[in-house]
């Protein structure tokens, strides 16, 4: 058997050094030599095997969140690290609290959202650098950029945190004449308004309004900040007045709505001025000040007419009708409500049609005009059927059924009191068929209005079963 000679093996330096460190090696290597050899091995790996640096190894070993924090500390951004660390702790606390309340938590952990961490690092470090240099406007811009980035439903608390930071920094920005401070007040007002703390929101909006008076400042969309301040303040005053009216604090509600009307006029926005007049008129109505309410509401009518705004005009007519109804002026109230129905139909506002028709039915029902009441309640009921709104359908169906019952009660009473043969025939016919029968004593003839005459559903015959008479 032929034996081949051994193949010569060329040992590289790395192999030789590694072999010398094996337990079976009899060579004793000094410590200084080991350190030198380690440096040689690291250099050899980097040059020949593309070895990883310490930073690269740490990046693979640690989470991305930890790497961002380490980078902040390594680069000297200690304040940014402290703020980010506090936000991350709050993030985890909210996440754990949500897990306790519910089995499902849709929001991902922060370490799984590198884009958000990148934005934290980018803007926080830039803000800290600008703050060291005293450029507070640049600090504000970076913090506001973070607030805008986190302006979504799940991260709104992060946005609110940076709104608060922006507000504190804006007090130190003096070069822009107070524009940043005005914007910060607007953001804080929005924050408190969303939380339902309307008094605090009103205070910030008032400061926003005061700072923008006489200024031509505009936001990033080109809208005047003063107009935004007027809109925000009018909206907040209206919400406050709603609470006051619920608590029957009529004087306070009227007082604050008068302020809202004055601010709306200042904003030079006719639509906003009309809205303020509508709510002020409604407050006077709730307080029982009918003449004042009519004066204010007629001003709203003038504004809506000049703007050719039919929908606003219909809203004004509806409230005017309520005032007239409270005064007992039923005939005038009916005229205004009929205008509301016409405007609503022309503009395809079905809910307005239902509401006005129901009000008309109530008025006629109270006046004993049951046929007319049935007509309007039927109109309201048919509209709810078209919309397929079950709750409204049930409500209008009950109104319609009551009006029909009143109408039938009057007819039956007349038939009984007449005590003649024709009336008796009408009563017997009704008892057999249970249909609505009308008797005209002058013509001496009867007419039966069946359910098919009242409910016409050519495409859906099942709707007949929803009629009030069949319930």
Helix, strand counts (H, E) of the chain: 21, 2
pLDDT of residue 46: 59
Helix (H) or strand (E) holding 440, with range, is strand 436-440
DSSP letter at 218 equals B
CB neighbours of 334 closer than 8 A, spacing ≥ 6?
321, 360, 363, 364
Count of all residues that appear for the chain in the document: 471
Q: What is the rounded distance in angstroms from the CA atom of residue 186 to the CA atom of residue 236? A: 12
pLDDT in tens, the chain (471 residues): 444 444 343 433 434 444 444 444 455 556 566 566 666 666 655 555 455 555 555 555 567 788 888 888 888 999 999 999 898 888 888 777 776 666 455 667 777 788 888 899 999 999 999 999 999 999 999 999 999 999 988 888 899 999 999 999 999 998 888 999 999 999 999 999 999 999 999 999 999 999 999 889 988 888 899 999 999 999 999 999 999 999 999 999 999 999 999 999 887 888 999 999 999 999 999 999 999 999 999 999 999 999 999 999 999 999 999 999 999 999 999 999 999 999 999 998 999 999 999 999 999 988 888 889 989 999 999 999 888 888 888 888 888 888 888 877 877 777 788 878 877 787 777 777 766 555 444 333 344 444 334 333 333 333 333 444 443
pLDDT of residue 7: 39
pLDDT of residue 9: 37
pTM (predicted TM-score): 0.73
Rg (CA), the chain: 39
Domains along the chain? 62-175 (no CATH), 192-268 (no CATH), 278-345 (1.25.40), 349-471 (no CATH)
The DSSP code sequence of 250-262 is HHHHHHHHHHHHH
DSSP letter at 8 equals P
User: Which whole-number Å values give the CA distances from 110 to 7, 68, 83, 107, 206, in the listed order?
Assistant: 57, 12, 15, 9, 37
User: Which whole-number Å values give the CA distances from 191 to 77, 134, 161, 313, 419, in the listed order?
Assistant: 29, 27, 10, 33, 74
- For 356, half-sphere exposure in the C-beta direction (CA atoms, 13 angstrom radius) is 26
Going by C-alpha positions, the residue among 380, 378, 379 that lies closest to residue 392 is 380
DSSP letter at 469 equals G
User: Which whole-number Å values give the CA distances from 309 to 130, 273, 302, 343, in the listed order?
Assistant: 51, 13, 10, 10
């Amino acid at each position: 058997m032929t034996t081949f000679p051994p193949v010569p093996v060329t040992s590289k330096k790395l192999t030789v050094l590694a072999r010398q460190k094996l337990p079976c090696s009899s060579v004793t290597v000094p410590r200084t030599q080991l350190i030198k050899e380690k440096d040689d091995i690291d250099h050899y790996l980097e040059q020949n095997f593309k070895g990883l640096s310490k930073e690269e190894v740490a990046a693979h070993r640690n989470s991305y969140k930890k790497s961002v924090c380490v980078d902040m500390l390594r680069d000297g951004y200690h304040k940014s690290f402290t703020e980010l660390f506090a936000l991350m702790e709050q993030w985890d606390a909210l996440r754990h609290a949500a897990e306790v309340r519910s089995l499902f938590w849709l929001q991902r952990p922060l370490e799984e959202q590198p884009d958000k961490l990148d934005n934290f690092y980018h803007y926080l470090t830039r803000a800290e650098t600008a703050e060291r240099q005293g450029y507070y406007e640049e600090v504000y811009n970076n913090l506001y950029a973070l607030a805008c980035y986190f302006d979504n439903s799940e991260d709104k608390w992060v946005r609110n945190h940076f709104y608060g930071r922006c507000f504190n920094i804006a007090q130190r920005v003096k070069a822009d004449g107070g524009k940043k401070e005005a914007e910060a007040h607007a953001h804080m007002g929005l924050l408190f308004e969303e939380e339902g703390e309307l008094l605090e929101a009103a205070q910030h909006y008032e400061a926003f309004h005061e700072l923008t008076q006489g200024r031509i400042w505009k936001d990033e969309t080109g809208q005047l900040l003063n107009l935004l301040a007027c809109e925000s303040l009018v909206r907040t005053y209206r919400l406050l007045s709603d609470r006051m009216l619920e608590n029957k604090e009529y004087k306070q509600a009227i007082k604050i709505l008068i302020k809202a009307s004055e601010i709306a006029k200042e904003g030079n926005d006719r639509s906003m001025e009309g809205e303020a007049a509508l709510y002020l008129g409604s407050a006077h109505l709730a307080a029982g000040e009918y003449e004042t309410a009519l004066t204010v509401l007629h001003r709203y009518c003038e504004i809506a007419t000049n703007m050719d705004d039919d929908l606003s005009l219909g809203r004004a007519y509806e409230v005017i009708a309520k005032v007239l109804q409270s005064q007992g002026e039923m005939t005038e109230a009916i005229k205004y409500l009929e205008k509301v129905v016409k405007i609503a139909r022309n503009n395809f506002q079905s809910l307005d049609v239902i509401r006005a028709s129901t009000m008309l039915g109530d008025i006629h029902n109270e006046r004993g005009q049951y046929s007319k009441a049935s007509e309007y309640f039927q109109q309201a009921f048919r509209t709810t059927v078209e919309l397929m709104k079950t709750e409204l359908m049930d409500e209008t169906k009950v109104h319609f059924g009551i009006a029909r019952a009143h109408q039938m009660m009057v007819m039956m009473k007349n038939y009984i009191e007449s005590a003649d043969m024709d009336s008796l025939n009408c009563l017997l016919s009704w008892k057999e068929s249970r249909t609505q029968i009308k008797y005209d004593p002058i013509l001496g003839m009867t007419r039966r209005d069946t359910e098919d005459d009242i409910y016409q559903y050519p495409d859906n015959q099942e709707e007949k079963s929803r009629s009030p008479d069949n319930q």
